[in-house]
Structure 1
């Protein structure tokens, strides 16, 4: 095929999704189950993509297909195309007729922004008859709620990678986390602390219900002396009661426990954390959810003129 033919070629979304899912899940059969397709359909879709590209994306000699060097390199480009497709769907939804009656947002306590309050005020004024639901969740629980369709959008502390069926974008604001203990806790009286010095004291750690992500928060092990909870607000209450030390969003401490907790002075803390917005590529967002997503991302100008 000549260069012009390759330039004009269109790659089917099904082939790109099959490739991304196979990479993420490690096998064609797992990708087929996730996509609700037969394994032969997924294999054929990937084979068509390889034929269109003129490249082998997987080495199929072993028990499980392994990415070739070309496959590893082109995976980034495939993800970029899928992301561009998401943006096109969102733009089309904003201009299409029909507005959904209900929107659900799953959000982490890590996210706190004056933009959110402004968005809700605008949402109420723009769509007064809308049923809006806010779910508080963290890490993998946010991901599962969006994957299952329980939430249209999610906001969470940024993860390294997401399942390929989810789209993501960074919001403008970052979260600030610190290490906190009750004012009367022995650690509150110590100075010149290093992170390793906390290992001898009970850690209050976030542990989501879904627990599908291997979260490496860099906190020292407490030798099994660890209590956990699925929300930062519950960890805050544990810390206020003197049960141990915890990593907490600083805004949450300032808003819900002023004067009750001491922030530990440890090198490298407080730390700044990026926050991502999530949506499902398998269920295109409606006009209201698309509008809310863009506003949370700080893209107000895109909506001048309305729908």
Structure 2
């Protein structure tokens, strides 16, 4: 069976007859008739009842026509995808983000990418410390979004500075500093154990 035969089948159904289908597909009526006849012979199934004024699908013909539409739809999807790729659109984009980055901003950006490039598969990794850089170096990600620790370890021509991320200092409620956490200063913290994410 061929795609042309499946197109002929669907056209006869959609346009209500062989003549209308031939006009819609810009083919002769005999070409449409031959395509349907060859399809029926190959499948060993009668697709149309031809006794009436207009050809009507048989019970089996209805099922086959439905399958034919699915095949034609998949074929169009492949064709559209190849067209996008021919224009230079990436088939996949892998992004790794530091866990310190505001995820709402990232998700909003991903939504925009999805709307503009629906055929591109998006993969998002959320990592900490040096993991974003490692994923880039191991070719497991295409774009890394991280803090200064990441920036200091890569070629400066390969990154773009994004808006500053504000970190909020916190104090454990079991710490001696907890009672005065609202007014504590960096000097007050000198000599204390601190965990700083970068």
TM-score, normalization by structure 2 = 0.46
Structure (1/2) with the larger strand percentage: 1
- Which has the higher relative contact order, 1 or 2, with Cα contacts under 8 A spaced 6 or more apart? 1
User: Which of structures 1 and 2 has the bigger CA Rg?
Assistant: 2
